[in-house]
Amino acid sequence: MKKLSLLIAGLVMSVSVFAQKNYLKEPAAAKNKRMQWWTDDTFGMFIHWGLYAVPAGEYNGKSGGAEWIMETHNIPTAEYEKYAAQFDPEKFDAKKWVAIAKSAGAKYIVITSKHHDGFSLWDSKVTKYDIMDATPFKRDILKELSEACKAAGIKFGLYHSIMDWHQPNANPKQKPDVKPDFNKYRDEYLKPQLAELIKKYDPTILWFDGEWIGEWTEEQGKDLYNYLRNLKPSLIINNRIGKARGGMEGMNKYQDAAGDFGTPEQEILKTNSQDYWESCMTINNNWGFAKYDHNWKSAQVLIDNLVDVAAKGGNYLLNVGPTAEGEIPAPSVERLGEMGKWLDVNKQAIYATKGLETYKQGDNIRFTKSNDGKTTYAIFNKADNNELVLTAVQPKDGSKVYMLGVNKPLEWTKSNGSVVVKLPAELPCKYAWTLKMQSSSDAK
């Protein structure tokens, strides 16, 4: 009898050890709890860095491509691999990069672990086409960056491309006479690399891309989502793990899709959304470093974008493309610093807030609300005659109205359905300003 009970116990144990939880059926309350830090943080720094920084958008005298340069200029794999021998970013300083993100007010970082070119920016046991074996640099960039993030209290996330131009089983162009076995790539390369990334660097976010290839399906995305959540249940994963996004608008075309948030790219949703979503954008026109691209967005545009995204209930993932020497371009650093100075004054209107149904008034006023619903913020980037007229959202009768960064309450009057707030003679910051109030719709 004793032997039989031991056998049954062992069987139950083995089943339970290997029983995979189905995270696709995660209750909304559990998802909201898991996503809370992400939605409160609102603002992240994207980093596109890899071998493509060596050519920096130029090949054989022709410009174009940046991180797509291998495809844009049809560079043969053996030719492109030569960039690895030149990739020796002596000025790379993870602590400095994290300090730049922190000075911008970014709360999380997402860096390309592997972009479409298939090069691994970490010490991978799955391939020799990585930073440790293929370059003279021989330092584990993701290890250094994940540790610097942890030390600075910045969450660490990883971008990972499903499309892989370097892997023969993922790229039919690699060996025309060999029929690629995509399942083999998925099961013996893609999944093992993701497992080692989770084990070695403990990312909080996995940001997939390159899902548009014909070999990838929503079903594979769902399987991968469950596989990864079972490896790390608290992981937050974007919707590009599956096939649901509708192009650059980025939101799911159907229900029950794999992934936790929508991914508008180079654009902001036209209106507010109760779904989880994050707009990713470049600071100039390219994700990877391009030596000729000096088309930097102004700090005003970047702050207006951040405010618009927050008012519509989203996150903003703003990209930098470091050089082959390991430096974030100075114009990016300068603009990120301006965003950080602005957030120092106005952060309580951006972090840990939620969008309102009435999220805007005209083109120059956006509204956000504190998570507890007790405080409303009106963020504006233009005012005439040193006063702001509020019609869409107004302070409760008799309540005080403050400007963030100014101690004394502001004078305001109400007539004919409009509230007129007298602005202080000296404004606390540049670019945009925030009124803090208890609006009539606020929770008691």
Residue numbers of the site for ligand FHN (CB under 6 A)? 67-68, 209, 265, 280, 287
**Which of 113/376 has CB closer to ligand FHN?**
113
Please state the closest distance from residue 164 (CB atom) to ligand FHN, in A.
Answer: 12
Answer whether 278's CB lies under 8 Å from 262's CB: yes
**Which of 68/380 has CB closer to ligand FHN?**
68
**Which of 266/386 has CB closer to ligand FHN?**
266
Q: How many CA atoms lie within 13 A of 12 on its CB side?
A: 6
β-pairing verdict for 402-403 and 433-437: antiparallel
Cα–Cα distance, 65 to 74 (Å, whole number) = 10
**Which of 306/378 has CB closer to ligand FHN?**
306
Please state the closest distance from residue 287 (CB atom) to ligand FHN, in A.
Answer: 4
Answer whether 42's CB lies under 8 Å from 316's CB: yes
Please state the closest distance from residue 288 (CB atom) to ligand FHN, in A.
Answer: 7
**Which of 141/410 has CB closer to ligand FHN?**
141
Please state the closest distance from residue 220 (CB atom) to ligand FHN, in A.
Answer: 19
β-pairing verdict for 278-282 and 315-320: parallel
Collect all residues with Cβ–Cβ distance below 8 Å to 19 and sequence separation of at least 6: none
* Residue number with the smallest Cβ distance to ligand FHN: 287
Please state the closest distance from residue 209 (CB atom) to ligand FHN, in A.
Answer: 5
Cα–Cα distance, 213 to 118 (Å, whole number) = 15
Please state the closest distance from residue 265 (CB atom) to ligand FHN, in A.
Answer: 5
Cα–Cα distance, 97 to 109 (Å, whole number) = 10
**Which of 67/327 has CB closer to ligand FHN?**
67
- Six-digit token string for 416: 């004919």
The partner residues of 435 in beta bridges, in order of sequence, read 378, 403
Please state the closest distance from residue 235 (CB atom) to ligand FHN, in A.
Answer: 18
Cα–Cα distance, 329 to 155 (Å, whole number) = 22
Please state the closest distance from residue 68 (CB atom) to ligand FHN, in A.
Answer: 6
**Which of 69/324 has CB closer to ligand FHN?**
69
**Which of 257/429 has CB closer to ligand FHN?**
257
Please state the closest distance from residue 413 (CB atom) to ligand FHN, in A.
Answer: 47
Of 157, 140, 169, give the one whose Cα is nearest residue 198.
Answer: 157
**Which of 209/308 has CB closer to ligand FHN?**
209
